[in-house]
């Protein structure tokens, strides 16, 4: 039997946009197609990267330190989890990846995009190219609505405690990334869960990544 090609798919959006609410159904959808799925997240996905995640999400630090820790976690995640899973022909579903760094540290914190691009080159170099997702589902939701959804849902972490202006900049960062890369699919997240899921499923079907099977 020929091995299937690995597929790297990421979910992006501001905090509270609804990514995590759909990742389980996405996993089920690919499994229903006979695919093996590695579901993971950033920052995190390995013991070392999860330790770094705790630091990043709980401790105050300057934007360069934050960026270096995010990319250090990413490097370990790529080497230990993402690349091996892709080499085995699996579907890697990752809750956030480098677009989040450009959106949060770049647009949100105002950190230098050129430095982030250099770190990206170092960390994601792969056979003379850059490891990038094949598809990025961008959950686009107004920051005010995201804040309403998160209010009372859980205790806010360091990023979730930021004012709405921060998330406006992060959302603009995502919009700029999406305009520059055809791998992005905008999901209108300001809809019911069912309507959001219908857009996700349609995006995958349109690109021939899954058949029309319901999970």
Ligand X SMILES: Nc1ncnc2c1ncn2[C@@H]1O[C@H](COP(=O)(O)OP(=O)(O)OP(=O)(O)O)[C@@H](O)[C@H]1O
Ligand Y SMILES: Cc1cn([C@H]2C[C@H](O)[C@@H](COP(=O)(O)O)O2)c(=O)[nH]c1=O
Question: What are the residues binding ligand X (CB under 6 A)?
Answer: 13, 15-21, 149-150, 153, 192-193, 196
CB 167 within 8 A of CB 141: no
CB of 147 to ligand X, least distance (A): 10
What span, in angstroms and rounded, lies between the C-alpha atoms of 133 and 96? Answer: 10
Q: Establish if 96 lies at the interface with ligand Y (CB under 6 A).
A: yes
**Residue 54, contacted partner among ligand X, ligand Y, none, CB below 5-8 A by kind:** none
What span, in angstroms and rounded, lies between the C-alpha atoms of 53 and 85? Answer: 21
- Dihedral sign computed on CA atoms, order 37, 88, 209, 173: positive
Interface residue with ligand Y among 10, 42, 94, 111 (CB under 6 A) is 42
Among left, alpha and beta (phi > 0; psi -120 to 50; other), residue 13 is left
CB of 132 to ligand Y, least distance (A): 14
Q: Is omega for the bond preceding 43 within 30 degrees of 0, making it cis?
A: yes
Nearer CB in complex with ligand Y: 53/197: 53
Q: Establish if 159 lies at the interface with ligand Y (CB under 6 A).
A: yes
The 3-class SS string of 80-128 reads HHHHHHHHCCCEEEEECCHHHHHHHHHHHCCCCHHHHHHHHHHHHEECC
Task: Give the tokens for residue 184.
Answer: 């992005």
For the segment 9-38, give every residue that binds ligand Y (CB under 6 A).
15
CB of 65 to ligand Y, least distance (A): 12
Task: Give the tokens for residue 143.
Answer: 């920051």
Interface residue with ligand Y among 23, 40, 41, 141 (CB under 6 A) is 41
Site string for ligand Y, 118-157 (x = CB under 6 A): ----------------------------------------
Binding site for ligand Y (CB under 6 A): 15, 41-43, 57, 70, 95-96, 100-101, 104-105, 159
């Amino acid at each position: 039997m020929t091995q299937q090609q690995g597929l790297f798919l990421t979910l992006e959006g501001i905090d509270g946009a609804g990514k995590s609410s759909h990742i389980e159904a996405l996993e089920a959808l690919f499994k229903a197609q006979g695919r093996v799925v590695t579901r993971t997240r950033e920052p995190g996905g390995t013991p070392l990267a999860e330790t770094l995640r705790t630091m990043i999400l709980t401790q105050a630090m300057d934007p360069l330190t934050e960026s270096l820790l995010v990319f250090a976690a990413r490097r370990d995640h790529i080497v230990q989890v993402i690349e091996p899973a892709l080499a085995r022909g699996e579907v890697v579903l990752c809750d956030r990846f480098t677009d989040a760094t450009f959106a949060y540290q770049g647009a949100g914190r105002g950190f230098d995009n050129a430095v982030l691009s250099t770190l990206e080159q170092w960390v994601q170099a792969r056979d003379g190219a850059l490891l990038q997702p094949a598809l990025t589902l961008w959950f686009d939701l107004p920051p005010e609505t995201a804040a309403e959804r998160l209010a009372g849902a859980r205790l806010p972490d360091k990023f979730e405690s930021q004012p709405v202006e921060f998330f406006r900049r992060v959302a603009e960062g995502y919009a700029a990334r999406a305009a520059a890369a055809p791998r992005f699919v905008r999901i209108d997240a300001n809809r019911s869960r069912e309507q959001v899921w219908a857009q996700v499923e349609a995006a995958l079907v349109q690109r021939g990544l899954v058949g029309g099977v319901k999970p």
